[in-house]
Amino acid sequence: MTVTLNPLYRFETFVVGAANRLAVTAAKAVAEAPGTVYNPLFIYARPGLGKTHLLMGVGHAARSINPRLAVEYLTLDEFVEAFHAAIAAGQGEAYRKRFLDVDLLLVDDVQFLTHRREMQAELLRLTDALQTANRQIVLTSDRPPAEIEALDERLIRRFAGGLIIDVAAPDYETRVAILRRKAEERRAAFAEGVLEAVAGLGIDNVRELLGALNRMIAHQAVSDAPISPAEARELIGGTAGRRSGGVEHSEPSVPTAPSEPEPVAAAAVPPTPRGAEQDEFSDFLSEIHATVAQQVDAWRTQIGAAILRWQGEGYRTGRLEALLDSDVAPDPDQAIQGFERDVERLRTMELEAAELAPELAGSPAFRDPAEMSAAEALLLRARNGAVPPPAPSPIWQLADVVEGAGTRVALEAARVVVQEPGARYNPLVLVGGSGAGKTHLLHAIGNLLAGQCLGSVACLSAPEFTAELIDAIDRDAVSAWRQRYRRCVALLLDDVHLIGEKDRTQDELFLLFNLLVESGRQLIFTSATAPAGIAGLEARLRTRLEGGLMVELPPPDPEVREAVVERELIARVGSLDPELAAYLASRPADSVRVVVAQLQRVLNAAEARGQGATAALAREVLDGVPPAPVARKPGANRSSGIVAPTAGGARSREKTVWEWPEIGDRLLEEWR
Amino acid sequence: MSLVNFTAREITCKIVYYGPGRSGKTTNLQYVYGRVPEGRRGRMVSLATQTDRTLFFDFLPLELGSISGFTTKFQLYTVPGQSYYNATRKLVLQGADGVVFVADSQARRFDDNLESLQNLQDNLLSEGVDIRQLPVVFQYNKQDLPTDLILAPAEMDDALNFRAVPSFGADSLHGTGVFETLRGISEMVLKRLAAGTAVA
């Protein structure tokens, strides 16, 4: 007598849309752990929206998880029939026992309980017994319990104590999905737009929708050409239009007149028999109970719905479930709002953590609003564990920068920036030729800023910046890369003139620039040319670079050159030869690096010859003249160390190579 | 008076039967009293004159038991209908959660009904209660009398029920419409409970 589960009615074949997502989530939760959550589960929906499908889906899913589970599906009519047969055979107890052995009881169409008092009492007994034994009961109806006419208020309360949930009509997208899936199941192919056209007709009853599909399949089978969207609309629209709003109530409606003999109607005209008098009050009481239960237990339903929603989104809802267990009615709005606030915070934290460390996305710690501290700890770990941006090199110190007439302004600006980062000169742009000491000064400022321990100081060259960005794009980790720089207290970018024509780098720098400046963090740039002279630099960046303080670092003047040579000599030789120092300082050099390189050449030659470094040796090495002093015209001084001397070509080449400061710079020069 | 007491987990509804003298308010209560199982009803307090007219008020407490963990009690009151007992009526009206206006359907009592309804409005207003905010139902009693003596419920509605609240034809002596009326007012009162809960 009990209908076996229809093998087609499984969760896998149920098309989930916005209208039924909650119900499906609840049904799945029940199938996975019968008797532990939402007991009883009461699903209601208009006919043709999939109640029976869901109900059987619970049975299939529960069985597939635990094949030994005793699952029983029956409609209310069968339930009633079985009861009557059992009573007639004097086997009432056996009937009860039969259902008490069921682990998962699925009862369809309970709206037919209307006016069946003895069946209501039986179902109440059964529900209580199953609940006590932690066994699951799932019921479906075409209307909510409170709207089932003359339903015992105790039953309503039992249902409200579990979960009452409805399945709404499918939206357009779901209808298209349903049609596609069913067409696929039936191996029917339709021209493009046909199923969409049918879904657009507004038939929101799934059963009727499938009827429409059947009609189209049949129609297409007998016609030569595939059916077109317009034809489909005409074919289906003609029938759908005749129904009111396209909604069909194909199932028999609940009988208004009870099929069983009922006690005499209440409030009958007197004289009333004693039993009916009692009933009059009972009816009243039952209705009052139902009304009160509805009002008082409304919060349970509200919280139940919230639990489902958030469980559906993968969050743990223990906090809300605890409320359901408590006997006292809380303020549901407040509880749910509090919960939602925490979920929102978890989401924000998860996003940030995922940017810092992609493997943290989806971590369970970000799914439990009852354990906010765990999520916070994880985020902190991610923040701490994130690779910091490149730091300034410690070998460059401000004390090593030689102060001269040309560098004074730059040094003063550097000191101000270190004293009040982000406040006075923001950005600070140091402009100077190669070897003028820009990089040195930049790193030196960076080291001082880093020494203030306010946070990480990013100091890197523009090409490195671009390379990191390309790598981040390659790894699909641009967000994390951005975050790294956005957390810095200062950004120091060397050779910013090299980002000309690099559009994406400029975009990123622009965003970063705004963010850092607005939050009062210091930006320092170095450039070989003034921003206006950087080819391919977007105006928005150029104006921003020009908006701070631009300081020029000129080639070293004799005063600086002398100071440099003296410092280097003392550092390398340990003593100072004034003549040598004066000679080296007098040689033209457009950068400190050239001065140092010249000194290095002299020292190398001295070491090779096993003699001390002298002014004579220096002249021989640098000018290619014999040690004997030669009277030189002042005009014979070359303008730079890299101009070919009077000696032979081979030496000239060698000299050229020697006088290039560094291979890297040479490459950059050539690249430029 | 608070309708829902979450601390004591108690719901108490005070329902007042109001109307002109001899319209059948006490009869309503007596009928209800007769139908309530003994364990559910308190002692009906009725202070009547020698001619069985209500002198002070009738009071019928109903214990509806525990509903969703709330002990639910209904208190049904009637007021003396005669116009000279207005002080008592005011007193009884205090804290009412709902009012059943029991009108006499006899055509000759038409003016008494209007007067009593006006009196109800005035008394509520003097308590700071707007009758439009209070759950009220009408009961048109004595519908069992010969039709040439009475007005039909529709006519009574036209005369009294200009805000179209629920109304019930009744014969309270025999019980017709008594519980329907009680159910109607209870439902309205309890529905307001939802709004009260949200505030509480």
Cα separation, A602 vs A600, whole angstroms: 5
Across the interface, whether the CB atoms of A292 and B72 are under 8 A apart is answered yes
Residues B1-17: what's their mean pLDDT? 73
Instruction: Please indicate if any CB of chain A lies within 8 Å of the CB of B91.
Output: no
In 3-state terms, what secondary structure has residue B100? strand
Residue A289 distance to chain B (closest CA, Å) = 6
Residue A648 has pLDDT above 50, yes or no: no
Closest residue on chain B to A290 (Cα): B67
Residues A319-329: what's their mean pLDDT? 74
A255: cis peptide before it, omega within 30°?
Answer: no
Closest residue on chain A to B32 (Cα): A281
Q: Are residues A155 and A239 in the same domain?
A: no
Which residue in this structure is represented by tokens 């030496």?
A651
Choosing from A106, A137, A167, the residue where a domain stops is A167
Report the relative pairing of strands A490-494 and A457-461 from DSSP bridges: parallel
In a domain, B139, yes or no: yes
Contacts of A298 in chain B (CB under 8 A): 194, 197
Instruction: Please indicate if any CB of chain B lies within 8 Å of the CB of A292.
Output: yes
| Interacting residues of A557 by C-beta distance below 8 A, sequence separation 6+ | A404, A405, A406
pLDDT in the model for residue A525: 93
> What values do phi and psi take at B189, rounded to 5?
-65, -45
In a domain, A179, yes or no: yes
Which residue in this structure is represented by tokens 């929206």?
A49
| A272 → closest Cβ in B175, B190, B194 | B175
Instruction: Please indicate if any CB of chain B lies within 8 Å of the CB of A293.
Output: yes
- Of A13, A4, A23, which is closest to residue A63 (Cα–Cα)? A4
Tell whether the torsion through CA atoms of A472, A478, A484 and A486 is positive or negative.
positive
Residues B161-189: what's their mean pLDDT? 92
Cα separation, B156 vs B162, whole angstroms: 10
With cut-offs at 50, 70 and 90, classify the pLDDT of residue B48: low
**Strand partners for B176:** B171
Angle between helices A558-572 and A578-586 (to 10 degrees): 140
pLDDT in the model for residue B109: 93
Least reliable range by pLDDT among A142-156, B44-58, B140-154: B44-58
Q: Are residues A355 and A421 in the same domain?
A: no
Across the interface, whether the CB atoms of A269 and B36 are under 8 A apart is answered no
How many domains does chain A fold into? 5
Residue A467 distance to chain B (closest CA, Å) = 60
Across the interface, whether the CB atoms of A293 and B177 are under 8 A apart is answered no
| Interacting residues of B51 by C-beta distance below 8 A, sequence separation 6+ | none
The more confidently predicted of residues B124 and A331 is B124
pLDDT in the model for residue B198: 36
- Burial (CB count <10 Å: 0-12, 13-18, 19+), residue B58: buried
Q: How far is CA A119 from CA A254, A256, B88, in A?
A: 15, 17, 49
Q: For residue range A476-527, what is the model confidence (pLDDT) as tens digits?
A: 778 778 888 888 889 999 999 988 888 888 988 988 898 898 888 999 999 9
Choosing from A348, A364, A385, the residue where a domain stops is A385
Across the interface, whether the CB atoms of A291 and B191 are under 8 A apart is answered yes
Which residues in B84-188 belong to E strands, given as ranges?
98-104, 136-141, 167-169
pLDDT in the model for residue B68: 66
> What values do phi and psi take at A619, rounded to 5?
-60, -45
Q: Are residues A425 and A573 in the same domain?
A: no
Across the interface, whether the CB atoms of B194 and A291 are under 8 A apart is answered no
Residue B187 distance to chain A (closest CA, Å) = 7
DSSP H/E element including A141: strand A136-141
Residue B158 distance to chain A (closest CA, Å) = 26
CB contact at 8 A, B112 and B20: yes
CB contact at 8 A, A85 and A94: no
Q: Are residues A163 and A15 in the same domain?
A: yes
Across the interface, whether the CB atoms of A292 and B68 are under 8 A apart is answered yes
In a domain, A579, yes or no: yes
pLDDT in the model for residue A664: 65
Q: DSSP readout, A563-626?
A: HHHHHHHHHHTSS--HHHHHHHHHS--SSHHHHHHHHHHHHHHHHHHTS---HHHHHHHHH---
Cα separation, B131 vs B121, whole angstroms: 6
Closest residue on chain B to A160 (Cα): B68
ipTM for the complex? 0.81
Across the interface, whether the CB atoms of B35 and A295 are under 8 A apart is answered no
Domain range for residue A16? 11-167
In a domain, B81, yes or no: yes
Contacts of A277 in chain B (CB under 8 A): 34-35
Choosing from A355, A385, A415, the residue where a domain stops is A385
Residue A275 has pLDDT above 60, yes or no: no
Instruction: Please indicate if any CB of chain B lies within 8 Å of the CB of A296.
Output: yes
With cut-offs at 50, 70 and 90, classify the pLDDT of residue A626: low
Across the interface, whether the CB atoms of B64 and A285 are under 8 A apart is answered yes
In a domain, B41, yes or no: yes
Cα separation, A157 vs A154, whole angstroms: 5
Chain A to chain B Cβ contacts (< 8 Å): 83
Q: What is the DSSP letter of A531?
A: G
pLDDT in the model for residue A265: 33
With cut-offs at 50, 70 and 90, classify the pLDDT of residue A270: very low
In a domain, B135, yes or no: yes
CATH number of residue B172's parent domain: 3.40.50.300
In a domain, A390, yes or no: no
pLDDT in the model for residue A256: 37
Residue A593 has pLDDT above 90, yes or no: no
Domain range for residue B10? 4-190
Q: For residue range A70-90, what is the model confidence (pLDDT) as tens digits?
A: 898 988 888 888 888 888 777
Residue A267 distance to chain B (closest CA, Å) = 6
CB contact at 8 A, A302 and A332: yes
| B174 → closest Cβ in A270, A278, A280 | A270
The more confidently predicted of residues A288 and A62 is A62
Cα separation, A379 vs A385, whole angstroms: 10
Q: How far is CA B72 from the centre of its chain?
A: 18
Cα separation, B93 vs B97, whole angstroms: 9
Residue B179 distance to chain A (closest CA, Å) = 7
B interface test, pick of A296, A331, A333, A334 with most B CB neighbours within 10 Å: A296
Q: Are residues A546 and A577 in the same domain?
A: no
Residue B83 distance to chain A (closest CA, Å) = 32
Across the interface, whether the CB atoms of A296 and B37 are under 8 A apart is answered no
pLDDT in the model for residue A248: 37
The more confidently predicted of residues A500 and A659 is A500
User: Which range among A191-205, A231-245, A510-524 has the greatest average pLDDT?
Assistant: A510-524
Residue A65 is which amino acid? I
Which residue in this structure is represented by tokens 């000169």?
A425
In a domain, B199, yes or no: no
Closest residue on chain B to A327 (Cα): B69
Across the interface, whether the CB atoms of A267 and B180 are under 8 A apart is answered yes
Tell whether the torsion through CA atoms of A467, A472, A474 and A475 is positive or negative.
positive
Structure-token pair, residue A511 = 């965003």
Across the interface, whether the CB atoms of A287 and B72 are under 8 A apart is answered no
CATH number of residue A218's parent domain: 1.10.8.60
Q: Are residues A234 and A378 in the same domain?
A: no
Q: Are residues A153 and A210 in the same domain?
A: no
Residues A597-621: what's their mean pLDDT? 84
**Strand partners for A139:** A42, A107
In a domain, A493, yes or no: yes
Instruction: Please indicate if any CB of chain B lies within 8 Å of the CB of A281.
Output: yes
A40: cis peptide before it, omega within 30°?
Answer: yes
CB contact at 8 A, A316 and A367: yes
CATH number of residue A73's parent domain: 3.40.50.300
Q: Are residues A548 and A427 in the same domain?
A: yes
Closest residue on chain B to A268 (Cα): B176
Cα separation, A23 vs A41, whole angstroms: 10
Instruction: Please indicate if any CB of chain B lies within 8 Å of the CB of A157.
Output: yes
Contacts of A281 in chain B (CB under 8 A): 32, 35-37, 40, 179
- Burial (CB count <10 Å: 0-12, 13-18, 19+), residue A559: middle
Across the interface, whether the CB atoms of B67 and A288 are under 8 A apart is answered yes
Instruction: Please indicate if any CB of chain B lies within 8 Å of the CB of A264.
Output: no
In a domain, B182, yes or no: yes
Contacts of A329 in chain B (CB under 8 A): 6, 197
CB contact at 8 A, B10 and B70: yes
With cut-offs at 50, 70 and 90, classify the pLDDT of residue B167: very high
Q: For residue range A400-432, what is the model confidence (pLDDT) as tens digits?
A: 887 777 788 888 888 888 888 888 788 889 988
Q: DSSP readout, A127-167?
A: HHHHHHTT-EEEEEESS-GGGSTT--HHHHHHHHHSEEEEE
Q: Are residues A549 and A564 in the same domain?
A: no
Residue B43 is which amino acid? R
CB contacts under 8 A, B 113-152 vs A, are: none
Cα separation, B82 vs B20, whole angstroms: 7
Q: For residue range B54-75, what is the model confidence (pLDDT) as tens digits?
A: 666 778 888 877 776 678 888 8
Residue A546 is which amino acid? E
In a domain, B138, yes or no: yes
**Strand partners for A41:** A138, A163
In a domain, A252, yes or no: no
Q: DSSP readout, A480-507?
A: HHHHHHHT-SEEEEE-GGGGTT-HHHHH
Residue B169 has pLDDT above 90, yes or no: yes
Residues of chain A with pLDDT > 70, as a percent, come to 84
> What values do phi and psi take at B50, rounded to 5?
-65, -25
In a domain, B25, yes or no: yes
Q: Are residues A27 and A94 in the same domain?
A: yes
pLDDT in the model for residue A416: 86
With cut-offs at 50, 70 and 90, classify the pLDDT of residue B199: very low
pLDDT in the model for residue B126: 92
Residue A139 distance to chain B (closest CA, Å) = 21
The more confidently predicted of residues B180 and A385 is B180
Closest residue on chain B to A156 (Cα): B68
Across the interface, whether the CB atoms of B178 and A272 are under 8 A apart is answered no
Q: Are residues A122 and A25 in the same domain?
A: yes
Pure H helices in A269-366? 274-296, 298-312, 318-325, 332-356
Angle between helices B178-199 and A274-296 (to 10 degrees): 20
| B68 → closest Cβ in A266, A269, A296 | A296
With cut-offs at 50, 70 and 90, classify the pLDDT of residue B116: very high
CB contacts under 8 A, B 6-65 vs A, are: 6, 11, 32, 34-37, 40, 64-65
Four-CA torsion A287, A288, A289, A292, nearest 10 degrees: 130
Residues B137-165: what's their mean pLDDT? 93
B interface test, pick of A152, A281, A283, A289 with most B CB neighbours within 10 Å: A281
Cα separation, B16 vs B100, whole angstroms: 6
- Of A309, A265, A301, which is closest to residue A283 (Cα–Cα)? A265
Q: Are residues A549 and A566 in the same domain?
A: no
How many domains does chain B fold into? 1
